[in-house]
Structure 1
Amino acid sequence: MDGTGVRGIRVMAGMTQASFAEALAVSQSCISDVENGRRTVSRDLRIKIAQVFGTGDDVLAAIQRAKESTKLAL
């Protein structure tokens, strides 16, 4: 998972960076840095996202397909 995947999960959840960060017990700047590629997605953050948002391989695969599509802007 990369920053675009994190952003996709956040957008699918209909959340702002601040509310997403609060749900994950991290700072908003952490989410911003991850989404903008200034920080990698840590193992702990991936686990938190999976626990809180129930993101399995199917969701991550859908986000990857959306990233590759020229019709969607993620």
Structure 2
Amino acid sequence: MVTVDHELVFRLRALERLTQEAFGKRIGVSGAMISDIERGIKSVSRTLALRIVAEFGLTPESVQRIRELPV
């Protein structure tokens, strides 16, 4: 099971070198929504988490590696 939270979204976006707008476009939301998620204003819904996992091919192992990377 993969947990997608604001920290993972921020780290994944940085790793992929995407703007908030570009990241949002890949998963079907606005850049403003990504900004709100990264700042902890909005939470990641189950539906959005599933889209992120599918779009970026996340596994529990890859998520662990992403969380261990320096920011």
TM-score per shorter chain, which class? 0.7 to 0.9
Q: Which runs of 4+ in 1 moved over 4 A?
A: none
Q: Deviations over 1:33-59 (max 9, x none)?
A: 100000111111110011111111112
TM-score where L is the length of structure 2:
0.85
Name the Cα RMSD after superposition.
Answer: 1.2
- Alpha-carbon displacement from aligned partner over 1:1-26 (angstroms, at most 9, x marks no partner): 22011011111111000000011110
Aligned to 1:30: 33
Return the index of the structure with the highest Cα Rg: 1
Q: Percent identity?
A: 31
Of residues 57, 64, 72, the one that matches 2:67 is 64
Counterpart for residue 55 of structure 2: 52
Aligned pair count?
68
Q: Unaligned regions of 5+ residues in structure 2, if any?
A: none
Deviates more, 1:10-19 or 1:55-64: 55-64
* Contact persistence 2:6–2:37 (CA under 8 A): yes
Unaligned runs of 5+ in 1: 67-71
